[in-house]
Amino acid sequence: MTNLIVGATGRVGTEICRLLSMKNLPVRAMVRETSNLTRLDILRELGVELVWGDLRKSSTFAPALQGVSNVFVTASSMPFSYEPGINDPLLVDRNGVINLVNEATKAGVNHFIYTSFSGHIDMDFPLRNAKRAVELHLKKSGMMYTILRPSYFMEAWLSSMVGFDPDNAKAQLCGEGDQPVSYISYLDVAKFAVESLNNPAARNAILELGGPDKISQKDAVKIFEKMRRIKFDVQYTPVETLRSQMESAADPMQQSFSGLMLAVAKGDVIDMSDTAKKFHIKLKSVQEYAEQLK
């Protein structure tokens, strides 16, 4: 009854490994030979079995899938391992995961748990198109599936990685910054993934996931300003600029990143009232996240 995690060196994947290990469940990670050595050491310390494999090479899937009952996929080519034409949304996020779905079906995998992103993101850009293609293919595979569609990760989208920089009291907001977003912690997404193993509500289901708050980018700035007792320097990237960047970009990562920022500008509210009745997970708030960074 082995659990295979693909994307285990990423934040969500590592947390899934930790949660499964805490339950004393067998955990295997399919990792690339070029994976970060520190991240691999963390997995080893958790007792995770490491198997070399690459989403771009379906010939490497068989050893990873041997004896596996459940597959968790959190892997993505973006943003850290992106290489155009080598490690990108088409080759990894679309073709690679679709091929893994095919091989998992042949291997007799029982349950495939896939981390996508919010269903409200409906624009035409490479990463979005790849994820929706995988979702459709997985639903037709015949395996039991769970598709997780989290809103924006607070640890990424309220960080310096995207211009939200609490340490330097600066924030570059998308659009006017006044549309609510259901920011969610990656830690909570990992909890939903693991609970999906045994929760009937996750069987052949798409779960739209958001945090406990529906707050705008401006609201997030106010939370950090109050916490740190300092006024932020706030700048804005107009919606027209974001749309132009997405439509004119030739690079898949630039197209996708501009598309995601445009979706933030439009807002992304997830109603968790029904899901909360079926999954008893205490969700981290943006306030709690800000307090941790203080």
- Give the model confidence (pLDDT) of 124-135 as tens digits: 999 999 999 999
> Is 128 within the bounds of a domain?
yes
SS3 label, residue 266: helix
- Please, what is the average pLDDT of the chain? 96
> Is 292 within the bounds of a domain?
no
Quote the pLDDT of residue 64.
Answer: 97
For 193, other C-beta atoms within 10 Å of its C-beta total: 29
> Is 174 within the bounds of a domain?
no
β partners of residue 70: 3, 111
Q: Considering the entire predicted model, what is its pTM?
A: 0.97
* Mean pLDDT, residues 69-95: 95
> CA angle at residue 130 from 204 to 37, to 5 degrees?
95
> Is 256 within the bounds of a domain?
no
Quote the pLDDT of residue 49.
Answer: 98
Determine if the peptide bond prior to 79 is cis (ω within 30°).
yes
Q: How many domains does the chain have?
A: 1
Residue 206: phi and psi, rounded to 5, are -110, 120
Quote the pLDDT of residue 80.
Answer: 85
Write the pLDDT tens digit of every residue in 268-288: 999 999 999 999 999 999 999
Q: Give alpha helix (H) positions in the chain.
A: 11-22, 37-45, 61-65, 97-106, 126-139, 154-157, 186-195, 217-228, 239-248, 252-266, 273-278, 286-293
> Is 190 within the bounds of a domain?
yes
CB 262 within 8 Å of CB 239:
yes
For 66, other C-beta atoms within 10 Å of its C-beta total: 12
Q: Which domain holds residue 104?
A: 2-150+186-210+270-283
Given a cut of 90, whether residue 79 has pLDDT beyond it is no
> CA angle at residue 220 from 282 to 208, to 5 degrees?
45
Q: What is the DSSP letter of 268?
A: B
CATH of the domain at 15: 3.40.50.720
Lowest mean pLDDT among 43-57, 73-87, 108-122: 73-87
> Is 132 within the bounds of a domain?
yes
Quote the pLDDT of residue 127.
Answer: 97
Quote the pLDDT of residue 203.
Answer: 98
Write the pLDDT tens digit of every residue in 190-233: 999 999 999 999 999 999 999 999 999 999 999 999 999 999 99
> Is 226 within the bounds of a domain?
no
Confidence band, pLDDT 50/70/90 cuts, at residue 294? confident
Write the pLDDT tens digit of every residue in 103-142: 999 999 999 999 999 999 999 999 999 999 999 999 999 9
For 233, other C-beta atoms within 10 Å of its C-beta total: 11
Quote the pLDDT of residue 34.
Answer: 85
> Is 95 within the bounds of a domain?
yes
Write the pLDDT tens digit of every residue in 144-153: 999 999 999 9
DSSP letter string over 74-85? ---SSSTT-BTT
